Amino acid sequence: MKKPTNPQWNDLDPFILSKIFSHLSLENQLRGPPFVCHSWLSASLHTVFNHPNLDLRSLQSLDDDDDVARYTQLLKIAIKHCKNWVSINLPCKKLPDFYTLMFVAENTPNISSVAVPCEASVDVYPIFMAVMYWKNLRIFDSPFRGIQMIRQLVDYCGGIVELGLHGEFSEREVSCIIEGFPGLKVLDLSKSTLSVNALGVLLDGRLRCIKDLSLLHCLFVDEDGKDVREDYVKFKAFRLEVLDKIRGIRSLKRFLHCLGKSCQQCADRSLEDK
């Protein structure tokens, strides 16, 4: 008669393990299951990373360097096993270190969408370098750090049709966007600062494919660097001119803005900039 064998932890069904792990916090997923055995590691990778969207936003809750190191280690392993990623959401507080991000970028050449939260206060230089590998990007959203960033995107990711950049824009930088992405369909410059002249360039009709334009909570400044909202008469004329130009863009289906009524968030931004 065959003796009964004692069940082993590594014999548990991977599907059931994954379901169990999905109820754990990210912190608990990192500190235990992946380091029990190979089957638990496989189930952990499936739980955390086996999704079309590689979501790294949870990194912002990992304040402990050891936790970040564990997450990074799992990420590097996951890249070799998970091939279905189509988009990446990067964290707003702590990017993976430069070499880890380069490793991610080099091994995800088919990524079509990358987003860095617009509230991020991170150094975007690693992103600047990573886009050299993401040549199939169609959607990109990030804090804006100068015209070189736009040129890098134009050189390596010319197929972008949805672009979100958030920062300070002059005529030169807006022209670079228009000339570099003539087929742009969605442009999000929300929470940015634009000169009046830069806005004029943006609405000059050269973006012939644009369908969705967002200027929500933007600060518009005149030639003297003053918020146009400070002068009611000037702002009223400015608003009418902008809306008249918008009506002339036939392809545009949606225009998001704060020009129609007083916006407290825009007012708060104006006070912060003083």
Length of the chain: 274
Q: Are 79 and 73 within 8 A, CB to CB? A: no
Q: Where are the domains of the chain?
A: 78-272
Indicate if the pLDDT at residue 7 is higher than 60.
no
Task: Say how far residue 20 (Cα) sits from the centre of its chain.
Answer: 30
- Distance between CA atoms of 85 and 77, rounded to whole angstroms? 14
Indicate if the pLDDT at residue 2 is higher than 60.
no
Task: Say how far residue 125 (Cα) sits from the centre of its chain.
Answer: 14
Percentage of the chain with pLDDT > 90?
41
More confident residue, 220 or 54: 220
CB atoms within 10 A of CB 178: 18
Calculate mean pLDDT across residues 91-107: 80
Indicate if the pLDDT at residue 55 is higher than 90.
no
Calculate mean pLDDT across residues 83-101: 80
Q: How does pLDDT run across 174-207, given as a tens digit for each residue?
A: 999 999 999 999 999 999 999 999 999 999 999 9
* Residue found by looking up tokens 């990210």 in the block: 26
Query: Hey, what are 140's tokens?
Result: 């990109």
Indicate if the pLDDT at residue 270 is higher than 70.
no
pLDDT attached to residue 1: 47
* Residue found by looking up tokens 């002068």 in the block: 231
Q: Does domain 78-272 have CATH number 3.40.50.2300?
A: no
Strand-pair partners of 116: none
Calculate mean pLDDT across residues 241-269: 82
b/e for 228-240, b at 16 or more Cβ within 10 A?
Answer: bbeeeeebeebbe
Indicate if the pLDDT at residue 113 is higher than 90.
yes
Strand-pair partners of 188: 164, 214
Q: Considering only CA atoms, which of 98, 115, 116 is closest in space to residue 106?
A: 98
Q: How does pLDDT run across 117-162, given as a tens digit for each residue?
A: 766 555 677 888 899 999 999 999 998 888 999 999 999 999 999 9
Q: Are 251 and 208 within 8 A, CB to CB? A: yes
What is the secondary structure of 35-71 as a DSSP string? GT-HHHHHHHHHHHH-SSEEE-GGGGG--SHHHHHHH
Least confident segment among 140-144, 195-199, 213-217, 231-235: 231-235
Average pLDDT for the chain? 84
Helix (H) or strand (E) holding 65: helix 65-81
Least confident segment among 72-76, 127-131, 214-218, 222-226: 72-76
